[in-house]
Structure formats: C-alpha cells, structure tokens
C-alpha cells in the first residue's frame, strides 16, 4: 500500500509540474529524520518501534488477523533488546497476562520462526524447558510469566487454537516508518 501511495504522489508531482524538462527527485528515508509530529494512535512508541497491545483474549490466528486489520503484524523480536523493551513496558503497566507473538513452528515442528519475516527465533528468552510441544500440539509462541513462580517474562509454546487455556492478549508491531521527500527545481 505504501509503494502505491509513493507512486501516486510521484505521479501527482509530475502532473503538477507538467511534462517539462524540470528536474525533481524523490527520496525515501528510513524513520522520521525530521522528527515530524505524527499521530501514531493506536500504537505506542517504544524505542524505535510502534506497538499495539490487544486487550481481548483470543487464539493466535485471531490475534494475527486483528494485527493485520491495523496494517501491522504480530510482534517479531529481532533482538533481545527489543524483547526487553516490550517486557519492560508490560512490567511497568503491571501486566501479568500472556501475549501472542508471531513466533511459531507451523511450517515444520521443532523449527521455530518468526511468522512475519521467516527468521529463526534466536533470542535466548525461552522459559526453562521450553519450547516443549507438550502433547504434540503446541506450535504458537507467546510471552508472559510462564510458570506460577516465574519472576520474569519469557517465551513459551502453546496450542494456536482450539484450547481454552490458550486464549491470550497479543502484541502487534507496526511497519517501520519511512519519510518521503520530494525536491523540485524550477
């Protein structure tokens, strides 16, 4: 959708200039280098990312659908620092419930990847003895205080659906921001 918008903006600029030999450039930069004020509602800015914390308890698939409705994905932790930032936010809110992530082993049992980018889950944030695919039906990854005596937020595998004990809140991650600049010489 963003690429279509960029092309449309480029076309409109081109039309407004007329089909002349005037020069113009379109530059796409990562992030918000000009620190422009934006309304990120319903997302919360945490470090360099924007996240939405779904309040309803749903299965993994509904959590994923709800994120897609926002133009986002279930969260993918690309670094341990990102995991710690989200965990810190939840702890700061006094949140002790579980939240779905994009992690799963739906493609191949035992091979846990992030759904949104197909990269292996390589952060070392698993709860002790996890993932364990208990009962041969745990394929989706959530974060939370996994055991009753847990003192920290960690990762665990649970059934994706059809299990009343696997209805969790979810965390959506918005796409990375890009800034489009158009420079025109007249």
Q: How far apart are CA 120 and CA 131, in angstroms?
A: 13
Domain span at residue 49?
44-173
Query: Looking at the 3D structure of the chain, how many domains does it have?
Result: 2
Q: What is the DSSP string of the chain?
A: -HHHHHHHHHHHHHHHH-SSS--EEEEEEES-TT------TT-EEETTEEEEEEEEEE-HHHHHHHHHHTT-EE----SHHHHHHHHHHHHHTT--S-EEEEEE-SSSTT--EETTT--B--SS-BPTT----GGG---EEEEE--STT--S-EEEEE-SSS-TT--EEEEEEPPPPEEEEEEE--
Q: What is the pLDDT of residue 22?
A: 61
Do 80 and 113 lie in one domain? The reply is yes
CATH of the domain at 149: 3.10.100.10
Do 26 and 71 lie in one domain? The reply is no
Residue with tokens 């191949």: 108
Do 98 and 55 lie in one domain? The reply is yes
Do 49 and 31 lie in one domain? The reply is no
Do 23 and 57 lie in one domain? The reply is no
Do 124 and 142 lie in one domain? The reply is yes
Rounded to the nearest 5 percent, the helix, strand and coil shares of the chain are: 25, 30, 50
Do 19 and 64 lie in one domain? The reply is no
Identify the band that residue 13 occupies on the pLDDT scale cut at 50, 70 and 90: low
Do 99 and 136 lie in one domain? The reply is yes
Stated pTM of the model: 0.81
Q: In whole numbers, what is the pLDDT of the chain averaged over residues?
A: 88
Do 57 and 32 lie in one domain? The reply is no
Output 105 or 7, whichever has higher pLDDT: 105
Do 20 and 94 lie in one domain? The reply is no
Identify the band that residue 21 occupies on the pLDDT scale cut at 50, 70 and 90: low
Do 81 and 162 lie in one domain? The reply is yes
Return the number of other C-beta atoms located less than 10 Å from residue 104's C-beta: 22
pLDDT digits (tens, 9 = 90+) for 73-130: 999 999 999 999 999 999 999 999 999 999 999 999 999 999 999 999 999 999 999 9
Do 21 and 97 lie in one domain? The reply is no
């Amino acid at each position: 959708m963003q690429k279509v918008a960029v092309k449309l903006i480029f076309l409109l600029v081109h039309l407004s200039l007329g089909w002349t030999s005037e020069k113009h450039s379109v530059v796409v930069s990562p992030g918000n280098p000009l620190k422009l004020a934006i309304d990120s509602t319903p997302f919360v800015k945490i470090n360099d990312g924007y996240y939405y914390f779904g309040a309803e308890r749903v299965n993994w698939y509904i959590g994923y659908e709800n994120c897609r409705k926002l133009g986002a994905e279930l969260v993918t932790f690309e670094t341990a620092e990102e995991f710690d930032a989200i965990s810190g936010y939840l702890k700061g809110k006094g949140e002790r419930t579980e939240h779905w992530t994009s992690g799963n082993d739906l493609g191949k049992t035992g091979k846990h990847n992030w759904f949104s980018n197909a990269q292996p889950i390589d952060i070392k944030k698993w709860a002790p003895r996890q993932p364990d695919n208990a009962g041969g039906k745990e394929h989706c990854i959530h974060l939370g205080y996994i055991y009753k005596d847990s003192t920290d937020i960690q990762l665990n595998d649970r059934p994706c659906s059809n299990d009343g004990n696997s209805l969790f809140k979810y965390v959506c991650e918005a796409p990375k921001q890009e800034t489009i600049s158009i420079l025109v010489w007249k």
